[in-house]
Amino acid sequence: MKRYQKLSNHEKRMISNPYTSLNWLFGKDQLVQRKFPYIRWRLILPGLFLLSYFLIGPIYDLIVPKDLHPGIVVTGLPRLEQLLFGGLVHRLLRPLVNPVFDLICGYIYMAHYLWPTVFPLYLIYKYKDPKRVAYFYLVLAVVANCGFVTMTLYPSAPSWFFEFSLEQGKLLPFSPITGNCAGMARADHIFGVSWFQDFYSANPIVFGSWPSMHIAWPLTATLFDIKNWFLWAFDFLIIFSALYLEHHFLIDLICGALYVAFVAMILPPPPCVWKDSVFSKQYYTKRKEKIIFPALKRLISNFNH
């Protein structure tokens, strides 16, 4: 409270408006950096991202009784995918199954979990700008929270659960059930271990197929260095691996990418020009003039008609 009283009226107004404070946080004033040592506050955004992953589910279970939890959607997503694409896309990749692809796709798919740690190190090495790393964690936290809230309110079964139910000729019981490594079991079998199965059996969100955070996280990273072909190739490999290993429907991956695009459009950028990043004044002005404003005009004109 004493810290707040020492702030100027301008600083208090900026804090009271969360939208403008995002710009101000990384702008010329940099309130957080002036009032607190940088070594302390730079850990807030990574912490927000991690807390969103581990706390949303338990808090939701604590507040909302299990009787009021929404039902798990099993056939909705595959029906939508069949309607849009004429079939389930992951089934088209079954003829490609072989031990080489099993190993490559398995380890690439797992690399998604390392991306929030590895990619910031790359940003610091290439651009020498800690603010870009902090903003990356901010965007990642918003994307992750949007995704986890959706998974909680609209729990959806992954493709492996759908396929296993079809093989059994009946719907598998929702509880008790743990995560399944699906196609990764073939990679475990090659080495005679259970690494992937042990990891996924501890997954706290079994029915969180839609939207896919497996593509949302690396795609968020790609938007901070959009001219890096390796990042785009990694995104493609994640999509291929998710379908090949039957962990996701294609519609899950598309919606995960759309979540990232939505967050990229609504978040205000820091007031600086970051080279090769979507989150900068340069790209924000372009998308505001070419995408957001025309879309709002069309929406208003539709209401007028």
**Other CB atoms closer than 10 Å to residue 54's CB: what's the count?**
11
- For residue 171, the model assigns a pLDDT of 60
Q: For the chain, where are the alpha helices, taking DSSP H only? A: 2-6, 9-16, 18-25, 31-35, 38-41, 44-63, 76-85, 99-111, 115-127, 130-153, 159-168, 184-191, 195-201, 213-222, 229-244, 250-266, 281-287, 293-304
Q: What is the pTM of this model?
A: 0.71
- For residue 201, the model assigns a pLDDT of 65
What is the radius of gyration, based on Cα positions, of the chain? Answer: 22
What's the farthest any 2 CA atoms get from each other in the chain?
Answer: 67
Residue 274, both tokens: 């970051």
- For residue 35, the model assigns a pLDDT of 45
Model confidence band, residue 303 (pLDDT cutoffs 50, 70, 90): very low
CA–CA dist 86, 79 (Å, integer)? 10
Q: Where are the domains of the chain?
A: 1-41, 43-267, 269-305
Average pLDDT, the chain: 71
Q: Sign of the C-alpha dihedral, residues 113, 115, 117, 118?
A: positive
pLDDT of 40 > 50? The answer is no
Residue 268, both tokens: 């205000």
- Residue that the structure tokens 């290993």 belong to: 245
- For residue 177, the model assigns a pLDDT of 61
**pLDDT tens, 90-133?**
888 888 888 888 888 888 888 888 888 888 888 888 877 777 78
